[in-house]
Chains A and B, each alone.
Chain A
């Protein structure tokens, strides 16, 4: 294992040549994330989306329940010969 480590260090020293001066173009700009101040826009959007999703989910559930009850009544009517 010691021989392996020595070999790695040798490779590291050999590869530590200064980087070539090749300018590459890139459109991306990366900023360091600032976690000190709240990102109020992100917070607002997250809470807004959560509220909208919960509202939609509860609405969908209630509508499904009403539709199920309605179809159950319709089926009962049909088999009892009401309609």
Chain B
């Protein structure tokens, strides 16, 4: 199973700042802060390189996950609309 099939590139790419990027980036940063706390270092001021790295990793993973989620949703929508198109009798919203 490919993570992002080629046809996912026919979809508009999500913006770089999206809920996945923000949330996973924030949780990566939080993980770095927790690491500081558990190792008895100053929470915010220590290991800035670590905070940046973890936040970056979070943003990266979040972006890929959002791309996959949008692809899965678009695929399901396409299948749903195809079904509606092939079974107009069941969906006579236009006539009624």
Interface residues of A (CB under 8 A from B): 33, 35, 42-43, 46-47, 49-50, 53-54, 56-58, 61, 64-65, 67-68, 71
- Evaluate contact between A68 and B50: CB separation under 8 angstroms: no
Query: How far, in angstroms, from A50 to B59 measured CA to CA in the complex?
Result: 11
Question: If A57-B59, A57-B60, A61-B16 touch, does A50 touch B9 (CB 8 Å cutoff)?
Answer: no
B residues in contact (CB < 8 Å) with A: 9-13, 16, 39, 41, 46, 49-50, 52-53, 56-57, 59-60, 63, 67
Report the tally of A-B residue pairs with Cβ distances under 8 A.
Answer: 45
Closest A residue to B21 by beta carbon equals: A57
Chain B residues within an 8 Å CB radius of A53: 56-57, 60
Q: How far is the CA of A12 from the CA of B59 in the complex (A)?
A: 50
Q: Which residue of A lies closest to B51 (CB)?
A: A46
Q: Are A42 and B49 in contact (CB under 8 A)?
A: yes
